């Protein structure tokens, strides 16, 4: 198999770029702890209201400037909705779905996770900037999908 020098250089660069993307992704995931939301716990999707912690959805202060939001998603709402937290706080979201697959996306942040029935999903974010953040479902879930939204107000 004959290959020109410039082709070899191109292919080495191509391979290097792919490996570079790999290394950065690995470094961010395993060293900086920036891995994508991948929580492994499961739950009976038909018993969500009876299963802790989802029997009591809400916003809980768990430390200084640290909150846990226990949230259920269902057609077509987030519970709790209209969340308020002080600026600078870190929020840990613990979520599951009571029916179909939903998406949890907060615009202006990197919060973006699939929330599926039978699975508990976790994702965290520190809100530095005050403002009203739009929370929306980004996985098609039915005829009212475009109304499935709420807000997080950071004061």
Partner 1 sequence: MESAARNISFKEKANKALGIVPEDAIISKSYLFVSFIALLVGGVLGLLQGLNRAGLLELPLWFNYYQVLTAHGILLILVFTAFFTIGYFYAVLSHTLDGLLPKVRKMAWIGFGLKIFGFVLAVIPIIMNEASVMFTFYPPLAAHPVFYIGLVFIVVGVWMCAFGSFIQVANWRKRNKGEHVPILSYFATGVFVLLFFGSVPVAIEVFMIIPWALGWVETINVMLSRTLFWAFGHTLVNIWYLTAISAWYVVVPKVIGGRRFSDTLTRLVIIMLVVLNIPGGFHHQIVDPGITESVKFLHVFMSLAIGFPSLMTAYAMFSVFEKTAKKKGGKGVFAWFKKLPWGDVRFLAPMIAMIAFIPGGAGGIAQSTNQLNQVAHNTMWVVGHFHLTLGTTAVLTFFGISYWLVPFISKRVLTPAINKLGVIQTIFWTVGMIFMAGAMHWVGLLGSPRRTSYTTYSDHATALGWDPYLFFLAIGGTLLMIGIIIQVYAVIHLMFFAPKGETEFPIAEVEENATKTPYWTERWGVIIVIMLLVIAMGYVIPLVEMIVNAPPGSPPYSPW
Which residues sit at the interface with partner 1, rule CB under 8 A? Answer: 1-3, 7, 10-11, 14-15, 18, 21-22, 24-26, 28-30, 34-40, 42-47, 75, 99-101, 103, 105, 107-108, 110, 112-121, 132-134, 136-147, 149, 151
Cβ 107 to partner 1, closest distance in Å?
3
Cβ 43 to partner 1, closest distance in Å?
6
Tell me the C-alpha distance between 19 and 25, whole Å. Answer: 10
For partner 1, the closer of residues 65 and 139 by Cβ is 139
Cβ 77 to partner 1, closest distance in Å?
12
For partner 1, the closer of residues 130 and 142 by Cβ is 142
Query: What 8-state DSSP symbol labels residue 30?
Result: I
Tell me the C-alpha distance between 14 and 2, whole Å. Answer: 19
Angle at 36 between CA 33 and CA 37, to 5 degrees: 105
For partner 1, the closer of residues 63 and 143 by Cβ is 143
Angle at 73 between CA 69 and CA 79, to 5 degrees: 50
Query: Can you read off the two tokens belonging to residue 40?
Result: 């492994």
Whose structure tokens read 């739950």? 43
For partner 1, the closer of residues 26 and 88 by Cβ is 26
Cβ 11 to partner 1, closest distance in Å?
7
Cβ 45 to partner 1, closest distance in Å?
5
For partner 1, the closer of residues 85 and 98 by Cβ is 98
Tell me the C-alpha distance between 71 and 104, whole Å. Answer: 10
> Within a 10 A sphere around the Cβ of 18, how many other Cβ atoms?
10
């Amino acid at each position: 198999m004959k290959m020109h020098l410039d082709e070899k250089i191109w292919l080495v660069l191509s391979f290097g770029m792919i490996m570079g993307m790999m290394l950065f992704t690995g470094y961010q995931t395993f060293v900086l702890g920036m891995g994508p939301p991948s929580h492994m716990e499961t739950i009976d999707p038909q018993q969500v209201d009876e299963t802790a912690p989802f029997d009591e959805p809400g916003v809980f202060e768990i430390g200084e400037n640290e909150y846990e939001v226990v949230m259920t998603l269902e057609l077509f709402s987030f519970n709790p909705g209209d969340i308020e937290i002080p600026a600078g706080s870190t929020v840990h979201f613990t979520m599951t779905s009571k029916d179909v697959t939903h998406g949890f996306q907060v615009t202006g942040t990197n919060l973006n996770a699939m929330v599926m029935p039978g699975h508990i999903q976790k994702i965290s974010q520190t809100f530095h900037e005050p403002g009203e953040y739009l929370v929306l479902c980004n996985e098609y879930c039915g005829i009212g999908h475009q109304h499935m939204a709420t807000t997080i107000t950071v004061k």
